[in-house]
Structure 1
Amino acid sequence: MIQPNLLLGVNIDHVVTLRQARYRTMLDSPNAEPSVLAAALESEAAGAHSITVHLRADRRHIQDADVHLLRQNIATKLNLEMGNTREILDIALAIRPDFVCMVPESREEVTTEGGLDVAGQREALRTTVKALSDNGTRVSMFIDPDLDQVRASAEIGAAMIELHTGTFANHTGDLRKAEVDRLCAAAELGHALGLQINAGHGLTTKNLPDLWPVPHLAELNIGHHIVSRAVFIGLRTAVQEMLAVMATYRD
């Protein structure tokens, strides 16, 4: 099989947001839906290369049981987004996801806003990265395209960085071009330091082509746009639609 230029991790958090609007967990009722596992399997059937979920401290969508269910049943890779807390670290060490992406987390935010301050939390993150890496999980830092944050991520032993593309997605014209320049510089430095370069946040089929100047991209993690499109065209088609656009990336 020919390896595609760019891999897709499908974030299915917001499938569970819909379930949580009525059911606290998948065990509350035999009617609890939509199924997180069905969403993962449908994404895999469409060609997704990994499944991403964020187990938040406040459990606003993904629940512990969801992560266990996915770990036991999906055929691709499991990417667990998590804040740097002892509780979630213990869960990650027990479940052993293929990847962990360390993210900033605030109870007040609607979704993850901005990158993690790796440079300001080196020692705490270094300990977590080592624990996860020693347990067989590759670790990524979700960071803004800031060169100091890239250097700090390499210094603490992360295998990957995921560049926060929210600012890119929210701007147009010259402001977007300026953010692309920042993303390019961060990707170049990260690659030179031996890091895998991933990206995510706010990405859509419409804005992805503007991201293509960024070199060395290995994987995109995309959720909200895919789930939103799925409302109208179905999840499998939404994933395939995204993959079709991603196939135009050339590093």
Structure 2
Amino acid sequence: MPVLVVNVDHVATLRQARMGIEPEPVTAAYMAEQAGATGIIVHLREDRRHIQDRDVRLIKETCNTRLHLEMAATDEMQRIALKTEPEMVCLVPEKRQELTTEGGLNCIGREQELKDFLAPVHEKGIRASLFIDADPKQIEAASATGAEFIEIHTGHYADAKKIDARNVELEKILKGIVLANDLGLKVNLGHGLNYRNILNFKDVPGIKEYSIGHAIMARAIYVGIDRAVRDMAELIRTFAD
């Protein structure tokens, strides 16, 4: 069965708005875990706009579920990953001016570079994922890097305003899942998924994890983290693999 992995970046965003100590993303991670999340995701950005180094360390030390570390493919982040030893690293593109990740990582022409970058990560027993668009050429390039997973960027699908445009993006994702599985890659989905648009993936085989943060934390403002995570986890439990 596919599982839910919860991103707690937005809890840290709220804390950093006042540069204070509350709300605590480590506590949010623990609560999400208790409510049914099978993993916690944090994106440690170069500019540290939300998640901080101590958050990564403390979540790794205190949570019992898997820690997924989203990061850019830089020497600094590689050092942090090797020291922290998360369950998985997910390489993402990163621009300082963006509000959130706008698209997938470009793997085409970088296959050997990314393979070399991931080599010491794999030596530590850390699994690797690449956050990419549902582009066949990107998926094929990702398969040559040695990464075990890809996370297909679902943002274009989630952001589509018209049904026809959304269906076009959905079809790209569905074809991408099949191609990735055929190439031996495990597939996660993430970015912009919520309690409504995720329903189009019900009964779609070949999906291992759903990476969801914003929708859960937005709902948590009204009903609390426990209820918000339980609702999403229960929804995903009805999906087939």
TM-score normalised by length of structure 1:
0.93
Please give the root-mean-square deviation of Cα atoms over the aligned residues, in Å: 1.1
Question: Whole-Å Cα distance in 2 between the matches of residues 57 and 118 of structure 1?
Answer: 20
Secondary structure of the 1:39 match is helix
Q: Are residue 65 (structure 1) and residue 61 (structure 2) matched?
A: no
Please say if 1:216 is aligned against 2:229.
Answer: no
Instruction: Report what 1:152 is aligned to.
Output: 141
Pick from 67, 80, 88 the counterpart of residue 78 of structure 1. 67
| Residue of structure 1 in register with 2:237 after alignment | 247
Alignment partners' CA distance in 2, 1:116 and 1:189: 18
- Per the TM alignment, residue 178 of structure 1 is displaced from its structure 2 partner at its CA by 1.3
Number of equivalenced pairs: 240
For 2:152, the aligned partner's letter is L
Residue 141 of structure 1: how far off its partner (Å): 0.4
Could you tell me whether the CA contact under 8 Å between 1:180 and 1:213 is conserved in 2? no
Q: Aligned equivalents of 2:12 and 2:110: distance in 1?
A: 31
| Separation of aligned partners in 2, 1:212 and 1:147 | 22
Unaligned runs of 5+ in 2: none
Which residue, out of 87, 95, 99, partners 1:110?
Answer: 99
CA contact (8 A) 1:168 1:176 kept: yes
1:11 equivalenced with 2:1 (yes/no) = no
Q: CA deviation at 1:170?
A: 1.1
2:187 match: secondary structure: strand
The 8 Å contact of residues 204 and 240 in structure 2, kept in 1 or not, is answered as no
Aligned residue in 1 for 2:217: 227
Please state if 1:165 is matched with 2:165: no
Q: Secondary structure at the match of 2:18?
A: coil
TM-score, length basis structure 2: 0.96
Structure 1 equivalent of residue 197 of structure 2: 207
Query: Residue by residue, what CA displacement relative to the aligned partner does 1:8-45 show, whole Å, maximum 9, x if unpaired?
Result: 11000000001101126xxxxxxx11111110110011
What is the DSSP-based 3-state SS (H/G/I as helix, E as strand, rest coil) of the residue aligned with 1:120? Answer: coil
- Quote the offset at 1:215 in angstroms: 3.0
The alpha-carbon deviation at position 88 of structure 1 amounts to 0.9
Question: Once the 2 structures are TM-superposed, how far is the Cα of residue 213 of structure 1 from its aligned partner?
Answer: 5.9
Q: Report SS of the residue matched to 1:162.
A: strand
Within the candidate set 29, 40, 53, 1:40 is matched to 29
Please give the alpha-carbon distance, in whole angstroms, between the structure 1 residues aligned to 2:10 and 2:175. 31
Asked if the contact 1:84–1:102 (Cα under 8 Å) also holds between the matched residues in 2, the reply is yes
Indicate if the aligned counterparts of 2:43 and 2:71 stay in contact, CA closer than 8 A: yes
